[in-house]
Amino acid sequence: MTSFFLLCEKTGVNEKSACPTCGQPTVPVTRDGAVTPVCSICDTPDRVCTWCKVPMTKRLVADGKFLHYLCPKCVFQHTSKYAAT
Residues 6+ apart with CB under 8 A from 2: none
| CA nearest neighbour of 42 among 14, 62, 20, 64 | 20
pLDDT tens-place string over residues 36-85: 888 877 878 888 898 999 999 988 888 778 889 999 999 888 888 887 65
pLDDT tens-place string over residues 15-50: 568 888 888 888 888 777 788 888 877 878 888 898
Structural domain spans, the chain: 4-81
State the pTM of this model: 0.63
